[in-house]
Amino acid sequence: MSTQPSPKGTLSPYPIRKPGSQIIVDTLVEQGVEVIFGYLGGVVLPLFDKLYDAPIRFIIPRHEQGGCHMADAYARATGKVGVVIATSGPGATNLTTGLATAMMDSTPLVALTGQVRTELIGNDAFQEADTTGITRPITKHNEIVKDPRDLARAIREAFYIARTGRPGPVLVDLPVDMQLAEVEVTPPEEIALAGYKLRDKGHGRQIALAAEAINASERPIIYAGGGVIISNASMELRALADKANVPVTMTLMGLGCYDQGRPQSLDMLGMHGTAYANYAVQKCDLIISVGARFDDRVTGKIKTFAPQAKILHIDIDPASISKNVHVDIPVVGDAKVILSELAAAVEHRSRNEWFAEIAAWKAKHPLRYDRKADVVKPQYVIEELCRQTNGGATIVTGVGQHQMWAAQFYRFSRPRQFITSGGLGTMGFGLPAAIGAQIACPDALVVDIDGDSSFNMTLTELSTAVMYELPIKVCLINNGYMGMVRQWQELFYGKRYSCSSLKNPDFANLARAFGAVGYTVEKKEQVAGTIEKMLAEKRPCVVDFKVDRTENVWPMVPAGKGLHEMDGLDAYELT
Amino acid sequence: MKHIISALVQNKPGVLAHVAGMFAARAFNIDSLAVGRTEDPNLSRMTIVVVGDDRVVEQVRKQLGKIISVVKVQDFAGEDVVARDLMLINVCTPPEKRPEILALIEMFNAKVVDIGPKFVMVEVSGPENKIEAFIEACRPYGVRNVVRTGTVAMARYARQRHE
């Protein structure tokens, strides 16, 4: 008797019947899943029983939120779909922050949640929550399976929706009686989603208009976002930038899509971007935006954004086009496909005046900090880390000042090198994301540049790193504050530091209690040597850098101001 | 400015909640939303009247299109459509005013569907301005309560031929 399902289109003479839980696991294997992150619970016991001897590696976090961030970072590091499993009720609700994080940054994720028996739904049963209702606004799609014959189809569709078009998290809610029910195994059918149409190729006429505009421009700029990385379009972006001779600025999510070591790189733009990127945007006559969405952190005051520029917007999501700023030349489609067509159609122009202007800005306003001070400066820690890793480590961050310094002072050269929560800005993302990235790339050097307040939120996952022997490194930029909001309180609330500081544990000791390695750095002279020791560690390692407590992130475009109205350009002498 | 948008959606639980939730989350101003089955048992049609300028309506259309359970979105702006609203309205009828109220009802081609000692319940259907006009006409007599379906709409033949 065959264990294979019947070939497509034929009726099986000996129908194979399996419990829903087995069908779920078989479908996951069919979809190429190699790793699952997840946590047990009552209504997922049947599923976990079948996972026990499945050819899938299972990683158990200490909190479902951690598990979700791990799956998210796994997806960001590889481009594959991340998978997380949680039980009903509190297990599912613990996923919400992780799902919203993935939704905002367009990460392909499939979340499988247990649910109470179908006849108990809506009855306030034990550990029941309206999971599909709660997660509807924060998932690309979700479904609750109420017929066991729908199990395989729902999961196949979930993977398809998660990884195609603009990727996003998809949740499938699995009542326990669906997992237990026996059902006939059926072969995969074509995915037919009437309401979901994919558009890869850009419209030929739009691409021609785009090429014309680029060729005619005197002061163009490429504004590249996370979409370039999701589309695996770095080579095509570089081809376009080189062929047409256009400078490139990147969003936080786009860092790494263009090698920052190349002279055309203007590094990051926006609220804490470089002055030369922001001036270039405000002075340019054409913005070539690819895979970016004109987020408010980038545009500053919209009325004064890029006043002289025509806007060409290449994006896979038509809803992002002309949402915040008016777009002159929209091109809907996949970045990789469109950029390669565009690169073929553009001409090289020298644009010497434009590049000279940019060079002058770069010389006058490099990113700087007080290098002479005798305290541990956070920027110095990151620069030294970059130097010792040759700019090649996979960097993951939490959210806040440390995240901005990591984006500013670590030089990124390849896609999927920088993993950060940009859209939602989720504190606590760092440590679980480092774990997910390390699992995804076992041979990579993974460093979590984290803040003390962010780290506090999910530090329980140190247990996970130790349990699975993951050599992740955590560089704690410890200023004893919620740094970013403290900076805002200093600048806009008259230094009334309301509830922005916490009493922290001794992080190095705490790391040791978890079974990891811990170091503390209090003096500038210790920084380089400790980083060296950290990089040589084979076990998970936390280094507590006690940094200057009141250092601020500069430059800064204050809320409501235009991109050119940056503060802090003269905060330090040019050293 | 009011725009009529028609969306063909899957006839499954949660779809209405999804669409309504999306409108709320994105702070779109909805004047009315009517939904019902179509000739296809798997599909329902939603007719949504949106208040906003062209940019807002463009976003509404695109965000609706992103929802996977929404199969097709039509914006009826500037198109030839038949748009109807159905209302049940309780009008107070002091005995001496009854004849003129009944005459009013006949003028509007409306129907009396219930009658009581001090009121009549009237069914009125037609384009929105006819409904509004009837309500205004009844105000001097006293309107007890009103329930409306909201606008439903369908393109006229001349437009349908092009689809």
**Which sign does the torsion angle of CA A69, A70, A73, A75 carry?**
negative
Please give the residue of chain B at the shortest CA–CA distance from A166. Answer: B66
The minimum CA-CA distance between B33 and chain A, rounded to whole Å, is: 19
- The pLDDT of residue A1 is 39
Tell me whether residues B25 and A137 touch, CB distance under 8 A: yes
Distance, CA of B26 to CA of B59 (rounded, Å): 10
Give the residue-averaged pLDDT of A430-455. 98
CATH 1.10.20.140 for domain B2-75: no
Is A199 near chain B, with CB under 8 Å? no
State which amino acid sits at residue A559. Answer: A
Please enumerate in sequence order all residues whose Cβ is within 8 A of that of A183, keeping only pairs 6 or more positions apart, or say none. Answer: A17, A18, A19, A20, A23, A148, A149, A151
Give the residue-averaged pLDDT of A217-231. 98
Q: Let me know: does A246 contact A264? Beta carbons within 8 Å.
A: yes
Is B11 near chain A, with CB under 8 Å? no
Tell me whether residues A196 and B18 touch, CB distance under 8 A: no
Predicted confidence (pLDDT) at residue A401 exceeds the cutoff of 80: yes
Using DSSP's 3-state secondary structure scheme, residue A76 falls into helix
- The pLDDT of residue A142 is 96
Predicted confidence (pLDDT) at residue B41 exceeds the cutoff of 60: yes
Please enumerate in sequence order all residues whose Cβ is within 8 A of that of B13, keeping only pairs 6 or more positions apart, or say none. Answer: none
Give the residue-averaged pLDDT of A423-448. 98
Please enumerate in sequence order all residues whose Cβ is within 8 A of that of A159, keeping only pairs 6 or more positions apart, or say none. Answer: A31, A81, A110, A170
Tell me whether residues A317 and B66 touch, CB distance under 8 A: yes
Query: Do A346 and A399 fall into the same domain?
Result: no
Q: Residue A90, preceding bond cis, omega within 30 degrees?
A: no
B82-131, pLDDT tens digit by residue? 999 999 999 999 888 899 999 999 999 999 999 998 999 999 999 999 99
ipTM for the whole complex: 0.90
The minimum CA-CA distance between A250 and chain B, rounded to whole Å, is: 26
Is A191 near chain B, with CB under 8 Å? no
A39-65, pLDDT tens digit by residue? 999 999 999 999 999 999 999 999 999
Stretch 138-167 of chain A: residues touching chain B, C-beta under 8 Å = 140-141, 144, 161
Token reading at A464:
């996970």
Query: Do A217 and A249 fall into the same domain?
Result: yes
Q: Let me know: does A396 contact A448? Beta carbons within 8 Å.
A: yes
Q: Which residues are paired to B46 by β-bridges?
A: B7, B35
Query: Do A104 and A173 fall into the same domain?
Result: yes
Please give the residue of chain A at the shortest CA–CA distance from B7. Answer: A195
Q: Which of B66, B70, B73, B75 to mutate to test the interface with A (most CBs of A within 10 A)?
A: B66
Structural domain includes residue A564? no
A165-186, pLDDT tens digit by residue? 999 999 999 999 999 999 999 8
Structural domain includes residue A394? yes
- Please report which confidence band the pLDDT of residue A570 belongs to, taking 50, 70 and 90 as the band edges: confident
Neighbours of A524 (CB within 10 A): 14
For chain A, what is the largest distance between any 2 Cα atoms, rounded to a whole number of angstroms? 82
Q: What is the mean pLDDT of chain A?
A: 96
Tell me whether residues A319 and B63 touch, CB distance under 8 A: yes
Stretch 34-73 of chain B: residues touching chain A, C-beta under 8 Å = 55, 58-59, 62-63, 65-72
Query: Do A180 and A78 fall into the same domain?
Result: yes
Query: Do A428 and A501 fall into the same domain?
Result: yes
Is A574 near chain B, with CB under 8 Å? no
**Between chain A and chain B, how many beta carbons pairs sit less than 8 Å apart?**
38
Query: Do A248 and A311 fall into the same domain?
Result: yes
Name the strand (E) or helix (H) holding A329.
strand A329-332
Query: Do A533 and A387 fall into the same domain?
Result: yes
Q: Is A423 left (phi over 0), alpha (psi -120 to 50) or beta?
A: alpha
* Domain span holding position A223: 204-364
Distance, CA of A459 to CA of A451 (rounded, Å): 11
Tell me whether residues A137 and B21 touch, CB distance under 8 A: yes
Per cent of chain A over pLDDT 70 is 97
Structural domain includes residue A9? no
Distance, CA of A91 to CA of A97 (rounded, Å): 12
Tell me whether residues A140 and B18 touch, CB distance under 8 A: no
Q: State the span(s) of chain B assigned CATH 3.30.70.260.
A: 2-75
Query: Which CATH number do you get for residue A326?
Result: 3.40.50.1220
| Residue corresponding to tokens 């930029």 | A477
**Residue A475, phi then psi, degrees to nearest 5:** -100, 105
Query: Which CATH number do you get for residue A95?
Result: 3.40.50.970
The minimum CA-CA distance between B27 and chain A, rounded to whole Å, is: 13
Is A318 near chain B, with CB under 8 Å? yes
- Please report which confidence band the pLDDT of residue B79 belongs to, taking 50, 70 and 90 as the band edges: confident
Query: Do A21 and A98 fall into the same domain?
Result: yes
Taking contacts as CB-CB distances below 8 angstroms, the residues of chain A near B10 are 194-195
Q: State the span(s) of chain B assigned CATH 3.30.70.1150.
A: 82-152
Number of structural domains in chain A: 3
Tell me whether residues B68 and A133 touch, CB distance under 8 A: no
Q: Let me know: does A252 contact A291? Beta carbons within 8 Å.
A: no
Structural domain includes residue A194? no
Stretch 81-140 of chain B: residues touching chain A, C-beta under 8 Å = none
Task: Using the 3D structure, point to which of A341, A364, A387 is the last residue of a domain.
Answer: A364
Pairing label, strands A248-250, A220-224:
parallel
Instruction: Give the lowest-confidence range in A185-189, A285-289, A394-398, A435-439.
Output: A185-189
Q: Which of A103, A139, A141 to mutate to test the interface with B (most CBs of B within 10 A)?
A: A141
| Residue from the list A136, A141, A323 with its beta carbon closest to the beta carbon of B59 | A323
Structural domain includes residue A11? no
Instruction: Give the lowest-confidence range in A2-16, A96-110, A559-573.
Output: A2-16
Q: What is the CATH topology of the domain spanning B82-152?
A: Alpha-Beta Plaits (3.30.70)
Structural domain includes residue A563? no
Query: Do A355 and A383 fall into the same domain?
Result: no
Tell me whether residues A133 and B25 touch, CB distance under 8 A: no
Distance, CA of A507 to CA of A528 (rounded, Å): 19
Task: Using the 3D structure, point to which of A333, A364, A395 is the last residue of a domain.
Answer: A364
Query: Do A133 and A33 fall into the same domain?
Result: yes
Predicted confidence (pLDDT) at residue B160 exceeds the cutoff of 60: no
Using DSSP's 3-state secondary structure scheme, residue A169 falls into strand
Taking contacts as CB-CB distances below 8 angstroms, the residues of chain A near B58 are 322
Query: Do A93 and A142 fall into the same domain?
Result: yes
Per cent of chain A over pLDDT 90 is 94
Tell me whether residues A195 and B63 touch, CB distance under 8 A: no
Query: Do A391 and A521 fall into the same domain?
Result: yes
Q: Is the pLDDT higher at A219 or at A15?
A: A219
- The pLDDT of residue A201 is 87
Please give the residue of chain B at the shortest CA–CA distance from A170. Answer: B68
Distance, CA of A280 to CA of A298 (rounded, Å): 13
Q: Which of B68, B70, B75 to mutate to test the interface with A (most CBs of A within 10 A)?
A: B68
